[in-house]
Copies of this chain bind each other. A is one copy, B any other.
């Protein structure tokens, strides 16, 4: 359910933004990651192929994507750093306060909940955050991610 790289790029393009190698790379990385990455974390990954990339560009691109609603901001996960949401389908996010990783949890109730919000504020709802904080069970047994179980293997606790 996460947006593809092309969907993100197309969203930028049709909003009047130019196509650049940096934006292309950033959108690609965004589309590949299901851990709700931070700007710094995206920066480090993209820099591997674009050594001249500036952190400012990452922030600027994320801000553009936010403004057109292609992604949203989930706030922090116990670190003091903004985590970005690429999956705009309604769901619950589970954040681990130890490893600061966030994973998705499928939800049935979320649809009824969003209906309640719509009824209360009408069409003015811009975005939402549904985040629950917890701890991974074990160092070797992090929070289960019902959307992308594979990312569960990458966690390393301090």
Please report A residues at the B interface, Cβ cutoff 8 Å: 75-76, 92, 94, 97, 105, 107-110, 112-113, 115-117, 120-121, 124-135, 137, 143-144, 146
Taking a contact as CB atoms closer than 8 A, the residue among B75, B105, B116, B125 that contacts A116 in the complex is B105
Q: List 8 A-B contacts (CB under 8 A).
A: A75-B75, A92-B113, A107-B116, A108-B112, A124-B137, A125-B132, A126-B133, A127-B133
Q: A120 to B133, Cβ gap below 8 A?
A: no
Q: Which residues of B are found within 8 Å of A113, using beta-carbon distances?
A: 92, 107, 109-110, 113, 130
| Whole-angstrom distance between the Cβ of A127 and the nearest chain B Cβ | 5
Taking a contact as CB atoms closer than 8 A, the residue among B121, B127, B130, B134 that contacts A126 in the complex is B134
Closest to A123 in B: B134
A135 to B131, CA, bound (A): 21
Taking a contact as CB atoms closer than 8 A, the residue among B112, B117, B125 that contacts A112 in the complex is B112
A78 to B155, CA, bound (A): 30
